[in-house]
Amino acid sequence: MRIWDHTTGKVVVYNSSFQVSQGRCLAIVGESGSGKSVTCRAIMRLNTFKMRQSGNIRLNGVDLAELSEADMRRHRGRHLCLIMQNGMRAFDPSSPVGSHFRDTLWQHYGWSRSQITSRMAKAMGSVRLQDPVALMNKYPHQLSGGMLQRMMIALAIVLEPTLIIADEPTSALDTLSQYEVMEQLIALRAETGCAMIFVSHDLSLVQRIADDIVVMRDGEILEHGTTADIFSGTRHEYTRHLLEAKQRLNRNFSNRMGGLQHVDR
């Protein structure tokens, strides 16, 4: 896949190529501006009008790049599900969150209002959201970022897509909410058996969830391998820099907290 800004001619992603198999999680890592999110939006065909792309995007034998916009809309949600970085941006601020669920699930499955409420309530309960029916009647601004992220995960549970793209899903959350959302993403994989693309700059989260890793910098893939191989024997200097930077941060935090004996308490 190649992605460029047609107004300036600047190439944003240079001929990237990777695949993720059913039941596996591929992490895309790299610093800000490396091309991670624009790659994910390209898979969903959700980049802004000035961004152009070429190449094939195959899902279950279907080339998404060749679909009409109407056909692509039918694939989004049903076969491709995006869990965004900022949960507030995923919902219409002028409507209760339950309206989003009803519109999405009716569009893809044609279920009745009661069926949708029942299925969403069960899924929301599975991600530890209390009183789900009351939550569905609330507006996005009345809910925390962690709750909105878990609502997106609950919707994915009901949709059962082939591929879930989680684009920096914990970066806007506090530490406790990060932990809870990661637990739910891991459970989601186990429950649905879906393929997952997990985008993050946090290597500790990547190590916890990913089977394979793609390392990007300035729009190029520098390295690609299993998580075990990348963490134990990375071949590229840039990847070593990322790993060493994370280790330095951990050591610095440990020292400031008085050593591991205090951190673990």
Q: What is the pLDDT of residues 151-193, one digit of tens each?
A: 999 999 999 999 999 999 888 788 888 888 899 899 888 888 8
**196-220 pLDDT tens trace:** 999 998 888 999 999 999 999 999 9
C-alpha span between 263 and 23 (Å, rounded)? 34
Domains along the chain with CATH numbers? 2-86+93-234 (3.40.50.300)
What is the share, in percent, of the chain residues with pLDDT greater than 70?
Answer: 92
Residue 13 has pLDDT above 60, yes or no: yes
Q: Are 135 and 129 in contact (CB under 8 A)?
A: yes
Residue 146 CA to chain centroid, in angstroms? 14
Query: What integer best gives the mean pLDDT of the chain?
Result: 89
C-alpha span between 71 and 138 (Å, rounded)? 31
Q: What is the rounded average pLDDT of the residues 235-262?
A: 64
C-alpha span between 248 and 193 (Å, rounded)? 35
pLDDT computed for residue 202 by the predictor:
85
pLDDT computed for residue 201 by the predictor:
84
**81-122 pLDDT tens trace:** 999 888 888 899 999 999 999 999 999 999 999 999 999 999
pLDDT computed for residue 265 by the predictor:
44
Query: Which carries the bigger pLDDT value, residue 92 or residue 235?
Result: 92
DSSP string, 19-66: ---TT-EEEEE-STTSSHHHHHHHHHT-S-TTEEEES--EETTEEGGG
